[in-house]
Amino acid sequence: MGNDVIIKSRVRLARNLNDYLFPHILGRTKSLELIEKVKEAFFESEDKFSEEFDFYKMEDMGEVMKLSLVEDHLISPDIVEKDDAAVIINKDRSVSIMINEEDHIRIQTMSDGLNLENAYETASRIDDILEEKLNYAFDIHLGYLTTCPINTGTGMKASVMMHLPALTSLKYMSQVHKVSAESGMKVRGIYGERTEALGNIYQLSNQLTLGKTENSIIEDITQVSEEIVSKELQARSMIQNTKGIEMEDQVYRALGILQNARVIDTKEAMKHLSSVKVGIEMGYIQNLNISDIDGLMIEIQPAHQSIMFELEEISNRDVNRAKYIRETFEKLKIGVMDSELQ
């Protein structure tokens, strides 16, 4: 069950080139020049890994497509508004290289569950490919130089995406925020800085990189993540033991709404999908995989729905979202446990 609490792990490496100003003062001409330089360094590498990737300029992408990449956690909300930026994405959509976001280069890699080591290994491989041809801004005392001083050092942010419905329900998240801050970490919303926790999904990441090694950051995040997972599972057990029938009722009500609603917005759908996830993890709902729900949580986001149904109107998205969820559940053979028969 612990693995179900942590949905994904992500590692991000921030890098800048020595011969260019930081992106916010670089100017369009130099920004476009830098994009081509990074693109060439990556795709002309002898490492065949680059063959798995595609290149996109932000100015050539539609707004809906860009927002869908935000929903997939492949680009940040901040880069969406920049027309002198670009992104390189692998075909299975687990790795992205943002160019001219806050820093010249931001390498992002994701792995399922708590697996920061694997994510870092992939990020490090891409970093090595780029460094073969690019001259990074690096100081022997400070480490990698970054636009924001708190990223200077390793330039690495490690994060885990966590599903914490019990701690949220019991109003313990303020304590989680406090304990995380004391450990030099921060809890953010589903899409990072300045976003809310849709579907009780949060991101935990390190705050500082200066004076730390990549391995120590991974170890610290892993340790705090495991502590939060333990607290979440304890909270679920407490709710089940003291309010078991209420929890079961919430799960089945959520399932019923998702199977029958005709109009549903993103926030409500995420709330009920969160309850269904708990129902699967607690054994109330059977023959339904956590991965099915995790997939739905992405597919029902606004941009994904607009692309899927070629829609513009929000009202139509809500209608089609409800229909899509109903049809998805109809395809799945869902078994339920009646507690009164146990």
Span 241-286, pLDDT tens digits:
999 899 999 999 999 999 999 999 999 999 999 999 999 988 888 8
- Per DSSP bridges, beta strands 95-99 and 201-206 are unpaired
Residue 112: burial class (beta carbons within 10 Å; 0-12, 13-18, 19+) = middle
> Considering the entire predicted model, what is its pTM?
0.87
Distance CA 137, CA 128 (A): 14
Q: Kindly state whether residue 142 falls inside one of the protein's structural domains.
A: no
- The answer to the question of residue 335 being in a domain is yes
* CA neighbor of 294 nearest in space, from 134, 113, 87: 113
- pLDDT of 28 > 80? The answer is yes
Would 315 be classed as within a structural domain?
yes
Indicate if the pLDDT at residue 341 is higher than 50. Answer: no
List pLDDT tens digits, range 77-115. 999 989 999 999 999 999 999 999 999 999 999 999 999
Q: Predicted confidence band at 299 (pLDDT cuts at 50, 70, 90)?
A: very high
Angle at 114 between CA 109 and CA 118, to 5 degrees: 45
Checking if the pLDDT of 333 tops 70, the result is no
Q: Would the pLDDT of 314 be above 60?
A: no
Strand pairing class (105-112; 95-99): antiparallel
Q: Is residue 234 part of a domain?
A: no
Query: What average pLDDT does range 2-6 have in this prediction?
Result: 74
Nearest to 273 by CA among 289, 242, 296, 307: 296
337 belongs to a structural domain = yes
Query: Does residue 112 form part of some domain?
Result: no
Is 50 exceeded by the pLDDT of residue 6?
Answer: yes
- The pLDDT of 186-196, averaged and rounded, is 73
Q: Which two tokens stand for residue 318?
A: 């809500």
**Residues 152, 58, 42, 156, Cα dihedral to 10°:** 20
Structure confidence at residue 342 (pLDDT): 41
Q: What is the pLDDT of residue 211?
A: 82
Top-confidence range, 194-203, 296-305, 332-341: 296-305
Supply the pLDDT for residue 287.
Answer: 80
Question: Exposed/middle/buried for 119, CB within 10 Å: 0-12, 13-18, 19+?
Answer: buried
In a domain, 117, yes or no: no
Domain extent, residue 287, equals 244-341
Number of domains in the chain: 1
* Mean pLDDT, the chain, integer: 90
- Residue 179 is encoded by which pair of tokens? 């304990």
Q: Where are the beta strands (DSSP E) in 61-130?
A: 86-90, 95-99, 105-112
163 sits in which H/E element:
strand 156-163
Measured distance CA(135)–CA(272) in Å, rounded: 49
- Pairwise CA distance, residues 40 & 231, whole Å: 47
Distance CA 337, CA 125 (A): 46
How many Å apart are CA 233 and CA 230, to the nearest integer?
5
Residue 228 lies in a domain: no
